Chain A
Amino acid sequence: MEPQPRVESEQSDYQNSEETKEIKAARSLELEQSLRNFSGSTRFGQTEIGKPKVGFPSYKVVVPLSLSTSLVFDLFKNACNKHKFQISEQTQSSITAEQQPSSSIRNLFSCIVPISEERKSRNTSEVKLLIAVNERACTRVVIAKGSSGVPNKILPIIQTFRDALEKAIMKEQPSPLERSSRMPSEWEEIEPVLTSKLESSSYYQFSKVLSSQQYGVGKLVAEFIEKFNDDYEDLVEGAALVPKPLEDVKKIIEETVEALFTHFNLSNTSSQKVMQFCRPAVERYIYSKLIKQLLSMYGLKYQSINQRFQDRRDFFHTKISQELMQSLELKQKYRLNSSEPPYIQAIETLNSIGIQHTPLGKINCLLQTATLMKTAVVDYWKGKEELETMDDQLPVIIYIVSQTTVQDLPSDLNFLQDYIHLGFGFDNEQRLLINFDGAVKYIADEWNF
Chain B
Amino acid sequence: MAKHETPLLDQLEGGPWPSFVSDLKHQAETKPEVYDILGQLELSYKDRITHWKHGGIVGVFGYGGGIVGRYSDVPEQFPGVEHFHTIRVAQPASKYYSTENLRKLMDLWEKHGSGVTNMHGSTGDIILLGCRTEALEPFFWDLTHDMGQDLGGSGSNLRTPECCLGQSRCEWACYDTQETCYHLTLHYQDEIHRPAFPYKFKFKFSGCANDCVAAIARSDISVIGTWRDEIRIDQAAVKEYVAGNYPANGGSHSGRDWGPFDIQKEVIDLCPTECMWMEGDELKIDDKECTRCMHCINVMPRALRPGADQGASVLVGAKAPILDGAQMSTLIVPFMKVEKENEYEELIEFIETVWDWWMEVGKNRERVGETMQRIGLNNFIKIMGLEPIPQMIRIPRENPYVFWAEEEVEGGFDRDIDEFRARHAA
Do the two shown chains form a genuine complex with each other? Answer: no
